[in-house]
Structure 1
Amino acid sequence: MQQVWSVLTENHHLQQWMGNLEIVDARKNGKMHFHMLDGTDAFVDMRITDYEEPKLFAFEWDKDHVRFELQLSEASTVLTLTETLQELTAHTPKDLAGWHICLQLFEGVLQGVSEQEFPMKDWEKYYGEYMELLKEM
């Protein structure tokens, strides 16, 4: 469980699977930065809404909310990601596809894979799939 928590919350690991994020103050009501990665030093402040080591990490995600929960299950750790959406927008399928890819990269970090490239073709595939799913809603 500690290894999963470390990949989730330590910046040198976190940035291997979600390069935009940086934890500034790791505590409830602490702060994170979402770096734009657009060639500027621009970032958005995000509030950490819950932080309970080693099992709960939650933060603002623009108008939405992201929550990671870790639970022991026999010989493994179960990681649950919940994103609470205030409304469906044109950006929603992009976020969902991004989280899908980030969780795959997260798994790679846990397996010791270093220097992973963001698989844009896979993201495009998932983006299309999430677009179709959201059309049904």
Structure 2
Amino acid sequence: MSAATARPARVTFIAVLTWIQALLNLISGIGLLVFQNDPSLRVQFGGSAGVIITGILLIVIALVTFSVARGLLRGSSIARAIVTLVQLLAIASTVYTAILLPNQLVGAAISAAISLIIIVMLWSGRAAEFFRS
């Protein structure tokens, strides 16, 4: 990134949202590990191994997500590609959800729209210039 290319506000906004998502995943993962002996959690996750594995996976995902957010702030094209891929998977997931659960159509449409907005924000205008430089 050249010194002449300042980070656009939309990239900062998306990175902050990514940090928040990472923090929520971290808290959830730690919470699962702390409360792994809760009987209702064990039932929901198919036993204590399910609770522990899910907790560890959430923590790992959080750490990766923190790294991706940092990459966005630094202008990393790899970070932008990862966020784009995740958003495309989210869109596919919401379409799948809407097909299986038609009563979730409105929520799925909103989620898909947000994902599409994030992709457009990362690949257009000043943000595109920022990641090219």
Q: Shared fold (TM-score greater than 0.5)?
A: no
**Greater relative contact order structure (CA < 8 Å, 6+ sep):** 2
Give 1 or 2: higher strand fraction. Answer: 1
TM-score by length of 2: 0.31
Q: Which structure has the greater CA radius of gyration?
A: 2
